[in-house]
C-alpha cells in the first residue's frame, strides 16, 4: 500500500508532478483507509515523505502490524520508525 504525500523540497525541472496541490487528510482517515486493504506493507512516497511527521502515523501503523518503507530523494534524514 502506498501513502503518497504532497510537498517536495526539490523542484526538479523534469518532474511532471505538482506536489504543491494536494488534499489534506486526517491521520485517522489515512490509517483507516490503509488498514481497510488488509495489507501490512506500507510505503511512504511523495513528494518527499521525509518532510512529514512519519513518527506519528508510523507508530499507528506499526501498532496495527504494518512494516514501513519509504521512497525518498535522500536529502532529508529519515525517521527511525521506518523499517
- Can you name the residues that pair with 70 across neighbouring β-strands? 44
What pLDDT shows up at residue 80? 97
Secondary structure of 31-52 in the HEC alphabet?
Answer: HHHHHHCCCCEEEEECCCHHHC
Q: Which segments of the chain have a pLDDT < 70?
A: none
What pLDDT shows up at residue 49? 94
Q: Show the cell assigned to 31.
A: 490509517
pLDDT 10s digits, 50-66 = 999 999 999 999 999 99
Quick check: helix, strand or coil at residue 4?
strand
What pLDDT shows up at residue 19? 76
What pLDDT shows up at residue 11? 82
Amino acid at each position: 500500500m502506498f501513502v503518497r504525500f504532497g510537498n517536495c523540497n526539490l523542484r526538479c525541472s523534469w518532474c511532471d508532478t505538482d506536489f504543491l496541490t494536494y488534499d489534506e487528510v486526517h491521520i485517522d482517515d489515512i490509517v483507516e483507509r490503509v488498514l481497510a486493504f488488509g495489507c501490512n506493507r506500507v510505503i511512504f512516497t511523495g513528494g518527499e515523505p521525509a518532510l512529514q511527521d512519519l513518527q506519528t502515523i508510523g507508530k499507528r501503523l506499526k501498532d496495527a502490524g504494518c512494516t514501513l518503507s519509504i521512497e525518498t530523494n535522500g536529502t532529508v534524514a529519515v525517521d527511525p520508525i521506518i523499517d
